[in-house]
Structure 1
Amino acid sequence: MQSLSEKVKIVKNSTTPSRHLVAIAELSPGDVILEEQPLLVTPHWECEQMKCSQCLQDSFVMCKKCEFFPLCIDCTTHNTYDCDFFCEGAAGAEISKNLLVENYTIFGVLKLLLLMENPANSEQCAALSATPGATVVDSEAWQEQDTQIVTPLLQSGIARVFKRVKVTHELLHTLCWRIDANAFEVTASDGNTLKGVYACGAQLPHNCVPNTVVTFDEDFRLKLYASVRIPVGAVIYNTYTNPLMGTSQRQHELRLTKGIECACARCSDPLELGTHMSSLKCTKCANGFVVCSAPIRDVGIWKCNNCAATMATDVVKQLLVDVGEALLETNSELLAYESLLAKYSVHFHQNHFVLVEIKQNIASILRAILMNPMCIPGKDLLERKLQLCEEMMPLVRAVLPGVSKLYGIALYEYLLSYMELAELIFEEKAAANAAQIFQEKLEDARDIAAKAKEMLRFEPSNSPEGHLVSRIAMEQKRIEENLRQLNSKRSCA
């Protein structure tokens, strides 16, 4: 089910039941650290369309043997243990054959219960249950899971069928949380997203500046690569938050979804590794930025790093509330986002995460416009797209060093607009040395394409990022063809 590199070992935490990976030999960028098949792949809780228990494609029929689990028209069998469980023990207990049909939300938890009940999976399930859990809180999510998953399972009478697992209200809630906390998002062959749980992958500790990159192939097999050089003795980290969020937002998400506190170098640094992604402009001096002295809990003093002037925490929070509400009122309109960006740029550092979010929305709209076959791209739109990319790419580099799919995607976006603008300028032939300028830009584009491809080189060919690699290769051919034509014209001249 899993294969570990000889350059790492599993180390048990001395104070908690959790385990993690440590490098016992230096790892270079691109070294494979872990390969692992999923312990469980399940639809998201809100998924209403039943999925085949074998291949996870849309299902409209049931297994003819157990008459309990859904299958697609191409699959005739599924997990033997699961099938036999509902042919034998569950049948004698008179569990309704329509339990899944009527309550499909229970699928993931039920599958995890069956894995725990099956002696063949005891070691993997024990490793998963060794990961620390969060304190169960009577939250909105808890209430929904209690209504849609826990109660239907308990009322079905299925608890009395399990022999190795004691099915209780508390256990079911814990399993709901473990699936949410430990799952990676994986993509099915039909493009739908699912949740994949990996026994070893679930134990990777979090860091807001990870030293690894994760990929998944068409069979949901996880591959973990070193994204940077990892020295001997270093812990292997993954990241479980959006790296373009500010510290307080990342901390909130980690507490909510993982039940953990992060004290990494980025979270502990008021300047966020020099990116200023949570900094505000000082109202008392021209060159200062107001930062929080205790960013992890967001309870410190907000003080200017230049003149030491302070800003009330309530003022900072109100600014964030105001911009959040304003974002909801934009109706995804380009001019509304641009107006919002101009308005709040006087309050926040240009790298502040709320401005980054606005810039991402603007870039997304520009991408849709420029990709429209009916659109003839103008210089102003292309230059604006390039400007946004140039502002955001250094941030991505700072928080995701080394091999990074997010940086690879950003480079690809930049490449497309860079090429369009270079060709547009060349066609206008506004400069006397237009051909020379075009060649220089093509050579720059060649380097950008190569770097983008390098960032995405580990992505499976069938993944969204893998498809980008094919598109980058097409752009490379386009670049080389343009260069060939330029050289041919010079030879003829």
Structure 2
Amino acid sequence: MQSYSEKVKLVKSASFPSRQLVATSDLSPGDVILEEQPLLLAPHWECEQMKCSQCMQASFVMCKKCEIFPLCIDCTTHPAFDCDFFCNAAAKISKNLLVENYAIFGVLKLLLLMENPESSEYCAALSATPGATVVDSDAWQEREVQIITPILQSGIASAFKRVKITHELLHTLCWRIDANAFEVTASDGNTLKGVYGCGAQLPHNCVPNTVITFDEEFSLKLYASARIRAGEIIYNSYTNPLMGTSQRHHELRLTKGIECTCARCSDPLELGTHMSSLKCRKCAGGFVVCTTSVRNGKSSGEWKCVNCGAFMAADEVKQLLVDVGEALLETNSELFAYECLLEKYSAHFHQNHFVLVEIKQNIASILRAILMNPMCVPGKDLLERKLQLCEEMMPLVRAVLPGISKLYGIALYEYLLSYMELAELVYEDKEAADAALVFQEKLENARDIAAKAKEMLRFEPSNSPEGHLLSRIAMEQKRIEDNLRQLNSKRNGA
């Protein structure tokens, strides 16, 4: 089900519950580290449209043999073990088990994988991943109602011989699926949960050295995103890299049950990005960061200016974040409201602070929608604003995601679109005497931007959202070359 590169090996670590993947030889960016088929594919818990058990496309019929699992018009069979299991358990359960309780599909499939002697050993890898340390009561209650109770009341537990089904086990499996699943895209554009035994064991680092892609068959491929030296650990990241340290920690505890102590998390300046820094109220140019101190044997976070040493109360920082969070909810996704928020809170936060980054992303999203509207004639002011936002964001993305990065590739593509629109608009207006020369320089620069964006996304499968961007980048490259040829023709004609 999986294939490792000859340049890596699994090593048992006393400080980590599962084996770590370590480079045995130097890896270059783009080297394939791992290829793996999914252990489990399942719809999201809230999905109501049944999916074919074989190909995960929309299903409206059931298997004619077991009459339990859904299929599509193109698939006539599904795993023989699953089908035979339900044929043998026919007298114990309702034929409408999945029709009436489709949310149980993922857990039911995992139980069958655990029951099947041929796949049970692959399921053991999930038990090696960290357990939950934070209980989300709302999620627990939803699973209790939608999944746990229907399974326990169905009578299916007695049909399992190798797996002892208990209330606790079912909740644990729900957690394991959520904690270990990657989001994968089906051919119809819908997203699914994909669980990969080896991929789930990759340790987390907020600055990963790998990038993961999924092809049309849901196969996972793990690439080196940067140079990895022999002896170094292979890392993935399971958080949004544009969040601050405390927010990343909260997400990791909630979704993975782990604590991160990577170089970025250990650095109050977050590798110089200042993504959690506030402006000091006591001195000009100073920034307040969260430092860890130990008093009376207890560890606590203190907010202190790196310039003048002035302290800021933790409660004050917390209230400021609460205020901006509430303000974001009141914007009604209006451009002017976001711009006002950005101006207001720029007086309190470093320009790279994650709350300002979120506001900038919202502004950029609105501008993108405006500029892509076929009824819109893009003006210089909107294009320049979009470029300004991209120029502020791209170095930040590069700092936290060095090497090959989907996010950086997308940022470059967004920048390229507005850059080309503005370059063509200025050239058409002939505002400068050397307009043709300036336009040529812009086009040559755009050519480099497009090539770099393509490099960042070169491993993405054609059916993925990022893969679709590759074809659009190719269209922009053609547009650039056409413009350059036209300029040369005019120059030669003159």
Q: Which TM-score bucket, shorter chain as reference?
A: over 0.9
C-alpha displacement at 1:32, in angstroms? 0.2
**CA offsets 1:415-470 (integer angstroms, 9 cap, x no match):** 00000000000000010000000000000000000000000000011111111011
* C-alpha distance in structure 2 between counterparts of 1:464 and 1:4, whole Å: 26
| Residues matched between the structures, number | 490
| 1:299 shift after superposition | 3.6
In angstroms, what is the RMSD of aligned CA positions?
A: 1.3
Cross-structure match for 1:385:
386
C-alpha separation between the residues in 1 aligned to 2:399 and 2:424? 31
Within a 5 Å distance, the mapping from 1:86-485 to structure 2 comes to 86-88=86-88, 90-92=89-91, 94-135=92-133, 137=135, 139-294=137-292, 299-485=300-486
Identity %: 84
State how far apart, in whole Å, the 2-side matches of 1:433 and 1:124 are. Answer: 66
SS in 1 for 2:90: helix
Q: Is the 8 A contact 1:210 1:239 kept in 2?
A: yes
Cα distance in 2 between the residues matched to 1:340 and 1:388: 15
CA drift of 1:135 comes to 4.3
Counterpart CA distance in 1 for 2:271 and 2:15 is: 29
Residue by residue over 1:360-416, the C-alpha shift from the partner in whole angstroms, topping out at 9 and shown as x without a partner, is 000000000000001000000000000000000001000000000000000000000
Change (3 A) 1:350 1:138: closer
| Residue type of the alignment partner of 1:34 | L
Structure-2 separation of matches of 1:16 and 1:467: 38
Structure 1 unaligned spans of 5+: none
Structure 2 letter corresponding to 1:157: G
Structure 1 position 130, deviation (Å)? 2.0
| 1:186 alignment partner, SS class | strand
Query: Deviation at 1:58?
Result: 1.2
Alignment TM-score, normalising by the size of structure 1:
0.98
The structure-2 alpha-carbon separation of the partners of 1:142 and 1:298, relative to structure 1 and needing over 3 Å to count, comes to farther
Structure 2 residue matching 1:119: 3-state secondary structure: coil
2:134–2:254 contact (8 Å) kept in structure 1: no
Q: Which structure 2 residue ranges, 5 or more long, are not aligned?
A: none
Letter in 2 for 1:62: M
- Deviations 1:248-307, CA, capped at 9 Å, x for gaps: 000000000000000000001000000000000001111100000039x99411011111
Separation in structure 2 between the aligned mates of residue 25 and residue 236 of structure 1, nearest angstrom: 12
C-alpha distance in 2 between matches for 1:132 and 1:336: 42
- Structure 2 length as normaliser, TM-score? 0.98
Structure 2 distance, partners of 1:29, 1:19, is: 23
- Deviation per CA, 1:342-366: give whole Å up to 9, x if none: 0100000000000000000000000
After TM superposition, give the deviation of residue 17 of structure 1 in Å.
Answer: 3.9
For residues 402 and 408 of structure 2, the distance between their equivalents in structure 1, rounded to whole angstroms, comes to 9
Question: 1:16: Cα distance to partner?
Answer: 5.1
Aligned to 2:18: 18
Q: What residue number does 2:493 align with?
A: 492
Q: What secondary structure, in the 3-state scheme, does the structure 1 residue paired with 2:44 have? A: coil
Residue 124 of structure 1 deviates from its aligned partner by: 0.8
CA distance in 1, matches of 2:221, 2:292: 36
Residue 27 of structure 2: aligned partner: 27
Decide whether the 8 Å contact of 1:246 with 1:352 is kept in 2: yes
C-alpha deviation, 1:338, in angstroms: 0.4
Pairwise CA distance, 1:59: 1.2
Moved over 4 A (4+): none
C-alpha deviation, 1:136, in angstroms: 7.2
Q: Does residue 66 in structure 1 map to residue 45 in structure 2?
A: no
The letter for the 2-side match of 1:363 is A
Shift of 1:103: 0.8
Shift of 1:142: 1.1
* Matches of 1:342 and 1:473, distance apart in 2: 37
Paired letter, 2:62: M
